[in-house]
Structure 1
Amino acid sequence: MMKRRYLLLLLFCTLFSFAGQVLATNYKCYFKSSQTIILPNFWTANQLISPIGGTSGAVGLGVTETTAALFPGGQGSEITCDPSPQSNNAVTYTAPDAGMMDSHILSDSGNGQGLLKTNVPGIVYTMEIRCANDCAGGNQLYLNMPTQPGASVTSDEYVGGGYKNSEPNWDVFFSLYQTPDYRPQAGQTNVMAIPGTIGILKMGDSTANIIRINVTTGSVLFKLNEPTCLTYSINNSNMRDHYDVNFGDFFVSDFDKTSGYTAERRFTLDLYNCSMNSISITVNGAHTADGNTLINQSGTAEGVGVDLAAQLVNSWEAIKVDGSASVGANFSGNDGWYQPYYQIPFSGKLKKIGEIKAGSFSSTATFTISYN
């Protein structure tokens, strides 16, 4: 008898699971060489700026912000990036020394932002290092100026391309400010940058090359008004160049028998949009021998003149009318130098200077205003 034999095939199935991830490449980036870059001039229109008083910190001057290209040489001109086991491409921005930086800071910008001096105390500017438009593997770089001389701020490390070929995307962003230190000064009409280094950049480790960013005097050009008031009037009149102050009619009996004066008549000198540390006023017209009284020049009255006085610093002061002496006031403090509207009260009184004969009275005087 034959026995049947069966061959049992044992099948073994093993399911293998394959999993993993594609990691972004790490890069070590650095500047190809240490060098000094002089930025192209960025504010050159000589725009007139108008600082105001009463500021408690740094305030903008309403000037359009501007930029300057940092690496105009194009892709691959300044930065090298090599694959590396670990990313090493952080950017460090170091502020310049105290000779370039102002003592005030821009406090409303995150952790604060340093300010750079110009040749005019109180007119300052700040800068921000930027690399935008998918600069570092889809990331952006923004580094504000540190608040203290020699201090540094450092960016994050970036993967996925580093800063390779990013040179066209780098620039420096500038904004103009005023601080409480500003005062108008005679002869101070031009604002310019202080030439020198305004920042130092480093990319990568502590031994990496550095880029010094420099400006020249021509990098920043603005105009300032010397101390002055932009417009003026008498008694808020819209007239210009010539003003009449009408004293009205008087009788001979109106002259006081003791003092020889009539009642006073008031008028005002109105000054607008003034930037000044001090003001002085002289008056010059046809006058008596002592220089105190204006005399009748073209009227028919005889024996009468006009004495003038002005109220400055809350007190009345008689005015010489021969131009030999001035009256004035000084302005101090953070806001005193700026006066949107400054009114000076004047008074005039007819004075008996001889035998009075009735008639008309007219006299012309020139008021000269000096600012400092």
Structure 2
Amino acid sequence: MTEPGRRRAQRPGSVTIADVAGHAGVAVSTVSYVLSGKRMISETTRQRVLASIRVLGYHPHAGARSLASKRSNVIAMVLPLRSGMHLPVLMRFATAVAITARQHDHDVLLVTADEGPAGLRRLAAGSMVDGLILMDVEWEDPRVPLLRELDLSSVLIGIPSDSTGVTCVDLDFAAAGAACAEHLAELGHTSVALLGAPAVVYGRDTGFARRTRAGFLERAAARGADAVAVACEDDAGSAARAVGELLAAHPETTGIAVHNEAAVGHVLSALSALGRRVGEDTAVVAICPEDVAERTAPALSSVLIPAEDLGERAVSLLMSKLEGAAVPRETLLAPRLTVRESSARPRAGSPAVGPASP
């Protein structure tokens, strides 16, 4: 008879929990407790069971695992695909969440329907998921009051007006907007503008757009600069109109911040068509992923949108909550501005020239 410690590995799909128990010389219930962590098992026994699992190539069935642990080992990422959202950046968040969740032995259910609170109730009632990660958070988000009531752990990637009773992580967009205004002011620009998100995003009062605009305008005012903020659509024609109308109404504008990664290229083309030389007589800074900023000509100074970091942190916070650990109510990542070729001081003869900071 083959000794337990030398038994050849079976085909993974044919190995059962009973096989593991027999190989390790323990009861089936002991293997179950090792897998679920629901009961204390001596370290010697636990290691023997884990060694048998490795030797046999045992993979517990998801259904059996959930019955043993009362968990589904699935988290839902609620990412409603609404107008004005830039899909490539959203997929960076989704990918980061999925990769990090797998590191915690969880799969991700991507929920893209815009169902609001009703969708959250459906997920909670069906016991389909262990927890929720939610995006596209509005300032007065109707999902937040329900999250406080649900017996289901959740993390928001975004900050609502009142984060009491919920867990949030995000880039500090108010500080990001302020960093853009500060950078332009330091270069000597006294008339600046923010070309922001599409109008529909402001219409929903989405938190990140609201906070960026407020941070930009407040810091510009504090630095004594004249500042305006206007919505900017994603398509080339609309972006060109936004730039044209901005400069027609405020021809003295020499410093521009762009908070719409889908429109960055269109904005630069429109400025060029109007005779503005980015990096020479006009400065442009963007809030966007680094690859978006680096592939333009000239390369844009930018504040990074840390999608991967935010996705990872959201999952880590959720896993901590599932384990009963205390987590902070809000986690705000400080903005990081990288200076590139588009940062220009206003030249003599430009529509507006102010004294550069010493």
Fold shared per TM-score above 0.5: no
Q: If each structure's strand is expressed as a fraction of its own residues, which one has the higher value? A: 1
Q: TM-score range by the shorter chain?
A: under 0.3
TM-score (norm 1): 0.24
